[in-house]
Structure formats: structure tokens, C-alpha cells
Amino acid sequence: MLNGMLQWLVSLAVVTELVAICLDSRELSAVAGVAFVTAFLAGAGRLQGYARMLLVIALLILGGLAWRGSLNSGQVLKAASDAAFYSAFLGSLGLMQCLVRRFEVLRRIHDVLLGGRPMLLYPKYALVSCGVATVLSFGMMNLLCGSLSDTLRERGIFGESRLQWLRSVLISALRGFALVPLVAPTSVAVAILTRELPQLSWSQLLPFGVVAALVMVLIGWVLEQRRFRKVSSERVAVDGWLPGTGRLLFLILLVFTVMAGLVAITGFKVSVAAMLSVPTVTLLYMFWQERGLMPVLKEGAGQVWAMQNEMAIFAASAILGVALSAVIPADALAGLVATGGGVFLVAMVGMLMLPMFSMVGIIPITVLSVQAGLLPQLVAEGMDLLPVAVALVIGFSLAMMLSPFGPSVMLLSRFGQISRWVVAFRWNGLFALIALPALLVLTALVAWLIPGQ
């Protein structure tokens, strides 16, 4: 009974936040934030330990600082509003997962992706995973991890051969997922940065993100292509197009068309347009199939509630970001941005903080939320914000691969029955050590060479 009520409360909070965005009402957004937090606290027994702990810590810090007078009412309102925005961001985009069970091409995605020349399998997996994740978000990891587990079980692949499949296929999927902050307007990293910095746009970040993504794909290709040769002998070829492929491509194209229309007509940020277009197209397609409103609403509410752990983490991270950045002295970073060298220093430290904190259990969205809260202060000091923003999305991308407590690594670990420490450090450690110097060079070039430096 309680679980059903909480499902509807969280779904109502998502709708409320979307309405608040359309009306540009921070007060209504704060109401949605309170609804989210209330639902997460009421269902705390159903949350994973990390999500529950992070939410409680965030609320205690917010309450303590407000009680001491370190936070004013406007900052508390912003904390509630940000919690609603990031929870609704994940909840609205996650509705696309409802389409997975309706398309055979998604259920057999590994047979589709493993076709073609073995030499090209790694970049194909990484780039397709990135593309799917721009729409499905964490649903992409559920899709690829779950379908691979089923595929291996059905074909009787066990032991060392199974481990090779897992390492080759799932690690390329994870790295493809980690490219999303670099290239996709639907990334939560882009949403955080553009929300805190209205003058920053996704299109400004995209050229540099594409270069960073290509560097990371190239490095992974060199490291993994030999392992892919071994698993390619056990693949099953798919002849022709699977049923539903054309319809799925049409729906994805429709989502991005609606997004582009919203951006052109309303001036919304691309991330906000995604929050509105994904659930609209998904729910309309479900209604067209089901011919009934209540089954669609029940399935949608259930899908949103299935992401309660991730949404609680996002909400807690948003609250921590507002609370902690508000108590950092206003002149703490003064004097660092007068030169290109100072900009590079800030960008480098910001980039490295994300994977370093992630490795000890502080997930990247928490760190980025705090960092983003400091950026307006740096802009006021005269900083050109683009190099730092580029560095932060690169750091966020690396952190997604190196965080043993991050949702993507934990999903891969659970489905593959592999230790999350093995996934984060043994499978991705060498990749990160090779990629990091190249990405730091790219960051330096952005800091010194873009106009205005």
C-alpha cells in the first residue's frame, strides 16, 4: 500500500517540476523538491544503504547550516529546487526505458552489435552505447548488462570464456556510457553546469567534448581490440533488420526533433527540452499501443519509482552542492583566474577532483554539484568559464568509470557477478592512466588557445 502511494507521489513530483520549469517558478519547484525528499524518506527502508546515508547526511548538513544562520531562506529554497530538478531530470529521461520491453531489436542488441568485422567491435560498442545512453540514461546499462547475462546463459558460455565476454562487451559499454557527458545534451553533468551558468550552452562544450571522446575511444580501441577477437568466434549472426528497428529509429528521431523544436521556440536549454520531450513521446507511444490511460500511467509510475535509489542520490547531491558551496568564502578562489595558467590550474584541479573523490566513494554528481556552485563566483572574478566547464565534463566522464560506488559500475558488477573494485580499477585503471595525460593536454590547449585567453 505504502509503496504504491510513494510511486504516485514521486511521479506527481516529476510532473510538478516539469510544470515549474515551464512556468519558471522556483517556489513550485521547491514544492516538488519537498515531495521528492518526503517520498524518499518515507521509503527509506527500500533505498540502498549508500543512497539512504547520502540523503540523511545532506539533510542534516542543510538543516544544521540553516539553523546556525549560515544559509538564508533563498539558499534553502534553491536547495529544494535543485533537488527537484535533478531528480526529475533522471525520472523523466528514465521513462524511455519503458520502450525497451516493446522492441525485439533492443532485447537482441548484442547479436546486432557483434555483427561485422571483429576489428571494429570496440568502437562500435562504445559509440552505440553512448548513443543509446543519450536517450535511455542508466537504462542503457540495464539493457546491455541484463541482455548480455541472458545471452551468455542461453548459449551455455561459462568460465574463462564468460569472463572474456564480460570484460570485452560490458567494459566497452561502460566506457561508451561514460562518453555521454562529453557529447550529449541529456547528460546530468551538462544539466548541472548549464543550470548554474545560464551563459553556458551545450553547443559551446560540444566541439571539445567530441575531441575528448574520440581520444578516449581510440585509447580503448587499442587496449581492447585483441580481446574482442577472441569473443567474436562465439557470436550469432543476425540476418537483416530485426522487427521494430525502423519504428524505434523513428521514435528516437522524433524525440530529438521535439527537443530541437522546444529549444528553437521557447529558448529552453537542451537538457530541459529533453526532460519535456522524452516522457511526452514515450507516454504517447505507450498510449497508442495500450489504448488505455491507466495501464500507461501505472507502468510509467512504476518505472520512475524503480529509479528511486539514483533519484535519491541525485537529490542529496543537489542539496549538498548548494549547502557546501554557500559556506565557502566568497574570495576563496580570488586571484586564480587572471591568466591562462590560472584558468588551467582551476580546470586541472576541478577535473582531477572528480575521479579522485569517486574512487573513495563520493560519486561524481555530488562533487560536481559542489563545484558548480562555485563557478558563478569565478565568473564574477573575470574567469572565462569554458575551459573549466570542459575540464569538469571530462573529469565527470572519467569518474563514471572509476567510481566503485557509482550506479553504472554497480550495475555492471551486479549483472556480471564481478567485484565492483575489479571493474573500476583493474579493468579501467590502465585505460585511465593512459587517457589522463592526453586529456590534460587537451584541457591546457582549451585554456590557452580559445578566444579571450
The pLDDT of residue 104: 66
Q: With respect to residue 277, please indicate whether it lies within any of the assigned structural domains.
A: no
Q: Which whole number is the average pLDDT over 298-325?
A: 86
- What the block records as the C-alpha cell of 155 is 548459449
Q: Give the range among 145-159, 167-181, 304-318, 423-437 with minimum mean pLDDT.
A: 145-159
Locus of grid cell 578562489: 333
C-alpha–C-alpha distance, residues 143 and 387, integer Å:
34
pLDDT, greater one: 291 or 338: 291
Q: With respect to residue 189, please indicate whether it lies within any of the assigned structural domains.
A: no
The pLDDT of residue 314: 84
The pLDDT of residue 451: 47
pLDDT surpassing 50 at residue 55: yes
pLDDT surpassing 60 at residue 220: yes
CA dihedral 280→283→285→288, nearest 10 degrees, is -120
C-alpha–C-alpha distance, residues 145 and 157, integer Å:
15
Largest CA distance in the chain: 67
Sign of CA dihedral 420, 91, 200, 336: negative
Q: With respect to residue 300, please indicate whether it lies within any of the assigned structural domains.
A: yes
CA 130 to chain centre: 11
Q: With respect to residue 202, please indicate whether it lies within any of the assigned structural domains.
A: no
- What the block records as the C-alpha cell of 290 is 495500450
Please compute, for residue 362, the number of CA atoms within 13 A of its CA located in the half-sphere on the CB side.
15
Q: With respect to residue 63, please indicate whether it lies within any of the assigned structural domains.
A: yes
C-alpha–C-alpha distance, residues 26 and 81, integer Å:
6
pLDDT surpassing 60 at residue 70: yes
Give the confidence band of 100 by pLDDT, cuts at 50, 70, 90.
low
What is the DSSP secondary-structure string of 96-113?
A: GGGGGGG-HHHHTHHHHH
C-alpha–C-alpha distance, residues 387 and 378, integer Å:
12
Q: How many CB atoms lie within 10 A of CB 449?
A: 10
C-alpha–C-alpha distance, residues 161 and 169, integer Å:
12
Q: Tens of pLDDT along 249-292?
A: 888 788 889 988 998 898 887 778 888 988 898 899 999 888 78
Using alpha carbons, list the distances in angstroms from residue 203 to 162, 199, 351, 448: 41, 11, 20, 20
- What the block records as the C-alpha cell of 431 is 585505460
Q: With respect to residue 136, please indicate whether it lies within any of the assigned structural domains.
A: no
C-alpha–C-alpha distance, residues 127 and 145, integer Å:
16
pLDDT surpassing 80 at residue 73: yes
Q: Give the range among 73-82, 275-284, 315-324, 358-367 with minimum mean pLDDT.
A: 358-367
The pLDDT of residue 452: 47
The pLDDT of residue 335: 57
pTM of the predicted structure, to 2 decimals: 0.77
Q: With respect to residue 427, please indicate whether it lies within any of the assigned structural domains.
A: no
Q: Which domain does 51 fall in, by range?
A: 1-103+290-327
The pLDDT of residue 453: 43
- Ramachandran sector of residue 236 (left: φ over 0; alpha: ψ -120 to 50; beta: rest): beta
Q: With respect to residue 167, please indicate whether it lies within any of the assigned structural domains.
A: no
- Taking alpha carbons only, the member of 95, 83, 156, 170 closest to residue 125 is 170
The pLDDT of residue 234: 63
Domain count, the chain: 1
